Structure formats: C-alpha cells, structure tokens
Amino acid sequence: MVTFRIFYLFVAFMAVTTAAVSADYTIGAKDSLDIIVYDNPDLSGSFSVSETGAINFSLIGELKVVGKTARQIESLIKGKLIAGKYLKSPQVRVSVGQFKSQSVAVLGQVSAPGKFVMEGGSTVLDMLAQAGGLTEQAGDRILLVKRGSGRGEKTLTVDMRDINFGDFSKNYAVGGGDVLIIPKNDSFYIYGEVRSPGLYRLERNMTVMQALSVGGGLTNKGTQKGLVISRRDSKGRVTESKVKLQDSIQSNDVIYVKESIF
C-alpha cells in the first residue's frame, strides 16, 4: 500500500492531463487569460480579470471580458486591432490560465482539506495534489459530486486502485462548484490468539485467511477452528457467526481467534 501511495504522488504531480476546458465556459472576475497574438510577442501575455470584469490590453485599453467565452474574446480583440488599424490580419488565441472565479472543494482524508482554485483543464488528480495528497487513512474510492454543470447534481466514483495501476480513464475533469469527498478507508479488527491484534485496512476481496496473515498469524495457543466474526447488519444489530478461512470479510468486521483447547 505504501508503494501505491508513492506511485500516486508521482502521478499526481507528473502526469500530463488531456482534459479540455469547456468551449462554452464564460469568464469570471479574478480568472486569468493567456492571450497570444501570433508574431506580436509585445501584445501577448497573461492577463488578470479585474473585479469589474475587465482586462487592460496593449493598444486597445480596457476590455470587458466577464460573461464571454474565450472564442468571443478572440473575436473582440481581432476586431479592435483591425478597427484601430494596428494590425491588418491578426491571429489571436485566448485560453483560460486560472479559474480564480471557480473553485473545487476537497473534503475528507487529504492533508489540507478546503476550497481550491481551478487551473486550466483541472482533473481529480490535480485537485488532490493541491490538497496535499491523500492521507494514510484515505479510502480507495473517491466521490466526485458534479455540481457546476447546471444540469443537477451527479456523483461519480473514482477508484484510486485503478489509477495506481495506470488506468487514468477515471481521472475526470472537474468544474467550478464540484466537490471531491475522500472517505476513510474500510477496516476490520482482529483479536484473540493472533500475534499482532489490532485495526487493519480492508483490502479488496479480502478473506479470513488473509486477515489472519495481516494480524501476524496465530500464536502458539491459537487455532483456525471456531473462528468467529462479529458483524453489524443494516439495522445496526451485531450478529456473530462462525467462518471459514476462505470466507470474505466486510468493512467493520471483528474477527475473534480462539485459544486451542489442546
């Protein structure tokens, strides 16, 4: 598991994302724009959108950009450069550098929970990196609540185990107003005649035999016969049942290993 965490941190900071900014995204106050006027480096650069929704652009002056898309701003700049007879046929490219008017909340088992500003094309991994990465208590399944589309709330599940093995199809793009929720990991408790009783992380498809191994194996007094699991049902009632080594265990199970009578 430590290996997976190290690999995740490497991916979070080094992976190149191909997520695209939505073409119909409209600029907000405090966003930043990266503007390129080809063959005119003096007119190119990064521009912060003021509280009043404008940028100051060389030769043109103040331009109102709030509420416009990047393509609309391109047309606006082209038109003004031509109208002012500064350039005959300008080629302009506008992209969003930072979505400072848009933020994503990252809650739960991360090093620094909070709201974080979106960068251009931000993804789940980008936001986790901004929040300092996952804690050791983080579960493998992350919930992405999509709230910024204007089409109602939608929840997606991101399985970090798949990403750790190189499947980035679930590294979804995030939007303003989205929420990432990182729950605690599933766990089980084992006690009795095992060498290292305690609370342990529950891995996928874990069996009683694997749980015994994680608990350090049986003591000299322990026996595999009569293993008992205490489990809470959907109504909150705790039931006890005998289990076999190949049986699967569930989150919050408590495994008791008895002492051999011989």
Measured in degrees and rounded to the nearest 5, phi and psi for residue 7 equal -65, -40
Residue 26 in any domain: the answer is no
Average pLDDT over residues 46-57: 93
39 with 148, same domain: the answer is no
Higher pLDDT, 179 or 19: 179
Which residues lie below 8 Å from residue 206, measured CB to CB, with a gap of 6+? 188, 248, 249
Confidence band for 150, pLDDT divided at 50, 70 and 90: low
Q: What is the mean pLDDT of the segment spanning 188-211?
A: 94
Quote the domain boundaries for residue 143: 2-20+99-182
Note the pLDDT tens digit of each residue in 108-144. 999 999 999 887 678 999 999 999 999 989 998 999 9
How many domains would you assign to the chain?
3
* CATH number where 6 lies: 3.10.560.10
Classify 189 as helix, strand or coil.
strand
Average pLDDT for the chain: 87
Give pLDDT, residue 3.
41
Residue 16: predicted pLDDT: 38
Listed in sequence order, the residues at least 6 apart from 141 whose beta carbon sits closer than 8 Å to its beta carbon are 157, 158, 159, 160, 183
Helices (H), ranges, the chain: 2-14, 70-83, 124-130, 160-164, 208-214
Q: Would you say residue 5 has pLDDT above 60?
A: no
**Model confidence pLDDT, tens digit, residues 85-99:** 999 999 999 998 888
Whether the model pTM is above 0.95: no
